[in-house]
Amino acid sequence: MTLLFKIKDVDRTFYQDRLKDFLPDKIIDIHTHSWLDSFRLKVADAPIRAVTWPSLVAKDNAIEDLFEAYRLMFPGKDIVPLIFSQVSLAYDIAAGNQYVSECAQRYNLPSLMVTKPRQSAAEFEEGIERGGFLGCKVYLNFSESYIPEKEIRIYDFLPPHQLEVLNRRGWIVMLHIPRDGRLKDPVNLAQMLEIERKYPAVKVIIAHVGRAYCPEDVGDAFDQLAETKNMVFDFSANTNTYVFQQLIKAVGPKRILFGSDSPIERMRMRRICEGGNYVNLVPKGLYGDVSGDKHMRELEGDEAERLTFFIYEEIDAFRLAAQSEGLIQRDIEDIFYHNAKTLTESVEVKRS
């Protein structure tokens, strides 16, 4: 088997010194994508409604690669992923869902179905149940093409008729919120709070702490979200200690979940914020030409050599936040394992 990626001394040292003892032995990764490159469609100019840099890390993420990445990066840890497929319009969504369903059954993994807002309530419900999924992964890409990206609302890709099904069945939805304002956006907050109020049985996971990657993304969001009781937050693909601190203060350790957003967790990078814009600092040349991406910047020499994995930076930032907020070992075990276990086991799965 070809080596998936190289583990360097800088990685071993970072993991050993900062993460190994912090992490529990058993972990559930609530946010992972698994798909094959063969699912890519032969279409030109698929609409782009999200950042493109994640596609530079891996052309696909077969389930075997996902497991191998865990083995390489987290020696001594037992990690179970919740899986769903690719959410790009450039891929065959049905093929991706079928693959995820088969992998979940083969390895006894929790999984979500990638769904589209045009699916009827019956089609939506039948697809989730037939595939043995715990619910759905929705994404702004699937909103109607006539809606400008900056104007997309949650209900444009998670419509009420599907929320009614999720609520009746008590299913999970993994929600990546839209809009340039990210977590603090008033439309996002209004609809998040409305979903909490109108559909209390839906198990809503707000991905990436609502895309609050910099302090400027927060606003007064946590003041409003502190009043919620049901929704939970994963901190996948986020490395901001300040944001994590505010999250812990607002909702406490029982409503926070660890996620990696695999396969982008393999990226060698360190993230900084400049004027509210996040910038991924990466080794020069490793990810091709990134000169036109405001979220990417290259480093050379010793600075580049010191870069480790995205996932290590994420967990270390959360470690610092947990320490500053006085979380104890039981809290860490909840966040990295027990909360996700309780959530996924609360949904009944019917598999053929």
How far is the C-alpha of 253 from the C-alpha of 322, rounded, in Å? 9
Is the residue at 196 inside a domain?
yes
> Looking at the structure, do residues 90 and 126 belong to the same domain, yes or no?
yes
> Looking at the structure, do residues 187 and 285 belong to the same domain, yes or no?
no
> Looking at the structure, do residues 171 and 274 belong to the same domain, yes or no?
no
pLDDT for the residue 50 = 72
Is the residue at 33 inside a domain?
yes
pLDDT band, residue 45 (cuts 50/70/90): low
Structure tokens at 132: 């043995």
Convert the pLDDT of each residue in 201-236 to its tens digit: 999 999 999 999 999 999 999 999 999 999 999 999
> Looking at the structure, do residues 113 and 168 belong to the same domain, yes or no?
yes
E strands, the chain, are 26-33, 78-84, 113-114, 135-138, 172-175, 203-206, 232-234, 256-257, 270-274, 277-283, 296-299
Convert the pLDDT of each residue in 254-286 to its tens digit: 999 999 999 999 999 999 999 999 999 999 999
pLDDT band, residue 351 (cuts 50/70/90): low
CA nearest neighbour of 130 among 92, 97, 163: 97
Range of the domain at 303: 268-308
Residue range 32-57: average pLDDT?
84
Q: What is the residue type of 106? A: R
CATH at 90: 3.20.20.140
pLDDT for the residue 64 = 97
> Looking at the structure, do residues 34 and 118 belong to the same domain, yes or no?
yes
pLDDT for the residue 257 = 99
How far is the C-alpha of 151 from the C-alpha of 236, rounded, in Å? 24
Q: How distant, in Å, are the alpha carbons of 16, 58, 281, 284 from that of 298? A: 26, 18, 6, 5
pLDDT for the residue 153 = 98
Report CA torsion sign: 251, 257, 263, 265. Answer: positive
Convert the pLDDT of each residue in 58-102 to its tens digit: 999 999 999 999 999 999 999 999 999 999 999 999 999 999 999
pLDDT for the residue 51 = 78
Is the residue at 284 inside a domain?
yes
Residue range 328-337: average pLDDT?
98
Is the residue at 303 inside a domain?
yes
Residue range 171-198: average pLDDT?
98
Q: What is the residue type of 266? A: R
Q: Which pTM value belongs to this model? A: 0.96
> Looking at the structure, do residues 137 and 281 belong to the same domain, yes or no?
no
> Looking at the structure, do residues 298 and 199 belong to the same domain, yes or no?
no
pLDDT for the residue 1 = 56
First to last CA, the chain: 32
Is the residue at 15 inside a domain?
no
> Looking at the structure, do residues 262 and 277 belong to the same domain, yes or no?
no
Q: Give the H or E element holding residue 128.
A: helix 121-130
Convert the pLDDT of each residue in 296-324 to its tens digit: 999 999 999 999 999 999 999 999 999 99
> Looking at the structure, do residues 185 and 327 belong to the same domain, yes or no?
yes
> Looking at the structure, do residues 86 and 181 belong to the same domain, yes or no?
yes
What is the percent of the chain with per-residue pLDDT over 70, rounded to a whole number?
97
Convert the pLDDT of each residue in 108-149 to its tens digit: 999 999 999 999 999 999 999 999 999 999 999 999 999 999
> Looking at the structure, do residues 182 and 274 belong to the same domain, yes or no?
no
Residue range 174-201: average pLDDT?
98
- When divided into structural domains, the chain yields a total of 2
Is the residue at 14 inside a domain?
no
Structure tokens at 329: 């070992």
Is the residue at 319 inside a domain?
yes
